[in-house]
Structure 1
């Protein structure tokens, strides 16, 4: 089985990376957390021009009819740049759940969607900016809305809203949940790669005892461990995108979460006290990783499913 991205997928990823590299996403994340959504929505519109929201929407409904492997390739880039908003919900999950008349607007990026699926996804991310709020309950899809004030997240850019019961639209396919988990897994590996890159670069600059700390064997070992864990996690996500089995998707989530969390801890250790400051961009990725490791099912739940203790 071959997991290497195709030439088209590499080109798509490069286009996303080029766009986001010039978008000042750290400033956008801070603005989103402060309730100023326009910079983030501007990025969303630019991503729509590249076809991101259309990725999993069928061609007959104005989409690209892409695959789960396309999703993983794209969401690694989104995670690398810490793009805010309900991206996994709108791009990965909603196309399987939304009423068909909403799909063209989803594909064009005109409509932003979010999803709650209690108990594993108890809140709808950024329901205040989403034009379509869906809830999966007892196997049914409901069109609903926010119900009360948002719940605080470790990541200030993630506003989590409780939702009420709503109008039943139909039956929810099991694939929708798996795609959400897969998208978050890819975001985690992308964020881990960013953290590793920042830690490696800073290790060449920061000096102790007259030497760059990156020259010390202990620091090299820390960074090498992170690189190894990320390189082992990424094929699991790509493999899960091919098989789309519950067990493989859960294995990818566990591995991606552990690798990204190790990258976050190591990056903080390498940066030292400056990494704790609110002014440093590192904190945006640290809190994002911490939030995403629990999003769409925590590690304990997914481990149990890998071991056969949970149904798909």
Structure 2
């Protein structure tokens, strides 16, 4: 499958890239990690004005009526710029599960939503700033309130235990489809973060000199960076292909995309850390924002073991159906 964005998709992605490139997202992410959510929420509103929050919301509900392809392009950009906040929950999971109604209309306009979905999402992201907070209990969505706070390896991921305390929410969507859409959005974030790690590392090895030469001129360094480039290039068509997948294979294709994106981004983070040497371990280095984010997203919305089992089960089932 050859994925080629339409001119409209390219224009949308380009305008988003320009906005994020000028938004000082590193400072926003560092402030968010320090519980100063003001700059992050201001950026959230700007992105909502661009239509990011309304991507998967139908036009009848005040949204853009776009699809998974546009969502992947947007979430990849958010990952590339380390934009904090519960974007997967607000843009992907809740709109797909709820379908329509006042909550979805509010999300399309820029309201913040978050959710806990055990066992894959045991804690809600940024529950303290969410306008709409839910937990999935026995396959149904119920209102919830924030409880105990937990620490993530990614300091921009502020996690909370939820206590269900609201009425069940009627949803027009399928829980499985919503989960898979969120997993695909996470894969896109991983792809974007991996690309940023590679780009920043390539820039660094062209500047850092050792023994009278740029370290990027050594074959060992070149080969490691080439391995990352290949891994990301193999992951990209799986992520974009899952966005175009037939409903019958969406589950399998999303799991394959999440696996490939997680492996590629994690490799990018390891190589970036090694290439930067001792400074790579410091929180003061901006690179740490992407390294820790990748580590957290690898297990978000389904671990690698979970998604690997799903791919295997799907392939076994398909083979049995053919025979």
Whether TM-score is above 0.5 comes out as: yes
- Distance (Å, rounded) in 1 between the aligned partners of 2:42 and 2:215: 39
In structure 1, the partner of 2:321 is none
- The secondary structure found in structure 2 opposite 1:247 is helix
How far off its partner does 1:106 sit?
Answer: 1.0
Match of 1:205 among 194, 204, 207: 207
Cα pair 2:2 2:237 within 8 Å, conserved:
no
**Residue number in structure 2 paired with 1:300:** 305
Quote how far apart the aligned CAs of 1:132 are.
0.2
Runs of 5+ in structure 1 lacking a partner?
A: none
**Secondary structure at 1:308 match in 2:** helix
CA distance in 1: counterparts of 2:210 and 2:102, whole angstroms: 61
Aligned to 2:15: 15
Match of 1:125 in 2: 125
- Counterparts of 1:154 and 1:9 in 2: how far apart (Å)? 34
Whole-Å separation in 2 of the counterparts to 1:145 and 1:10: 39
Cα distance in 2 between the residues matched to 1:150 and 1:121:
14
Q: Which residue number in structure 2 is paired with residue 154 of structure 1?
A: 153
Moved over 4 A (4+): none
Equivalent pair of 1:142/1:170 in contact (CA under 8 Å): no
Counterpart of 1:248 (choices 253, 256, 276) is: 253
Distance, in Å, in 2 between the alignment partners of 1:182 and 1:137 is 22
Rounded to whole Å, the distance in 2 between the matches of 1:298 and 1:278 is: 25
Deviations 1:29-63 (A, max 9, x none): 11101110010011111101111001001100100
Report SS of the residue matched to 1:286.
helix
The Cα RMSD (Å) is: 1.5
| Distance in structure 2 (CA, Å) of the matches to 1:259 and 1:4 | 21
1:2 shift after superposition = 3.6
Report 1:1-312 matches (<5 A).
Answer: 1-98=1-98, 100-109=101-110, 111-146=111-146, 148-165=147-164, 166-170=166-170, 173=174, 174-243=176-245, 244=247, 245-308=250-313
Superposed displacement of residue 141, structure 1 = 1.4
Find the aligned partners of 1:97 and 1:251 in 2 and give their Cα distance.
22
Aligned-partner Cα distance in 1 for 2:311–2:47: 34
Which consecutive residues of structure 2, in runs of 5 or more, have no partner in the other structure?
318-323
**Mapped partners of 1:8, 1:114: distance in 2:** 29
